[in-house]
Amino acid sequence: MNRLGPVSVGGSNPARIMGIINTSPESFYKKSVYKKQEIAKIVKQMEEDGADIIDVGGMSTAPYLKTLVPEKIEIERVTQAIHIIQNATNLPISIDTCRASVAKAAFDLGVEILNDVTGLHHDDNMISILQDNSPSVILCAFSKKPVSGNMIQQTRNLLQNSISIAVKSGISKNKIVVDPAIGFFRKNARGIFFTKINSDWLKRDIATLQNLKSIKLGHPILVSVSRKSFIGSLLDEKDPDKRLYGSLAAEVIAVLNGADVIRTHNVKATCDAIKIAQDLKKSKKGL
């Protein structure tokens, strides 16, 4: 059975919901950035609304923004948030970082899940941190070098490479979840956390959501589209605050196409939409 921390994922399990807590003012969706005094209330509400996991980040990785902050600041942001979350709920926590020092600080506080948008490619020191802590890992498709050709196959190749790194680092295969990196394949970007391609990034993301089952490689798959520019481009909507309904539609399609975990800013709305989709899908099978 596959797990993210104590949460079973994939297979016959319902789609799991990961609620996003950002502590980085640089993040693209400002309403997801919470001050210390707000976090406990927000997390309790996420738990009540149906979240299975809380994902905490201290540095934005939006590819179209310059978002790098010193590691010391990232560590300070996430450790403060982790303490608050742990006092507010027993939900498992995922640390959203590609930096080994940040991951270690989170693991030292009892965090059991690593969410690395670079698929373990950014920080060579992450390997020893994995060996010492053996967390569950979410591996995002990522390449430091430009990629071309069939984007579905390239996504599979990149994920397989990250899976191999994780397994060589002592991570059990049943503790690995893959992420196809919606929004992170770009022709150009201001940040460093993206995979350079020469093709249309929007067409790539659409094709990815349509072909999730062929990308899973035997692992549960996480999809994160909540309020992203992918949604904004399809809706011609620049304001992330106005992308809720588009996000919900994409999340439902993702689950129907095989997604096992949905990472979202909108826990209640996402839970409701996915519950209806999954219940109706079951009803159809039972006829």
pLDDT given for residue 286 in this prediction: 53
Low-confidence spans in the chain with pLDDT less than 70: 26-34, 62-67, 190, 283-287
CATH code for the domain in which residue 242 is found:
3.20.20.20
Instruction: Answer whether 86's CB lies under 8 Å from 48's CB.
Output: no
Provide the residue count of the chain: 287
- DSSP-derived letter for residue 20 is E
Cα 158–72–95 angle (5° rounding)? Answer: 45
Sign of the torsion angle spanned by Cα atoms 103, 9, 27, 185: positive
Instruction: Answer whether 205's CB lies under 8 Å from 257's CB.
Output: no
Q: How many domains does the chain have?
A: 1
Segments of the chain assigned E as strands: 2-4, 7-9, 16-22, 53-57, 93-96, 113-116, 136-140, 176-179, 185-186, 195-196, 222-223, 261-264
pLDDT given for residue 187 in this prediction: 84
Domain extent, residue 237, equals 2-286
> Cα separation of 84 and 20, whole Å?
15
- DSSP code string of 158-191: HHHHHHHHHHHTT--GGGEEEE--TT-EES--SS
Tens of pLDDT, residue by residue over 56-108, are 999 877 665 666 789 999 999 999 999 999 999 999 999 999 999 999 999 99
pLDDT given for residue 28 in this prediction: 62
Residue 261, beta-bridge partner list: 16, 222
pLDDT given for residue 219 in this prediction: 98
> Cα separation of 269 and 245, whole Å?
9
pTM: 0.93
- Residue 171's nearest CA partner among 142, 139, 144, 143 is 139
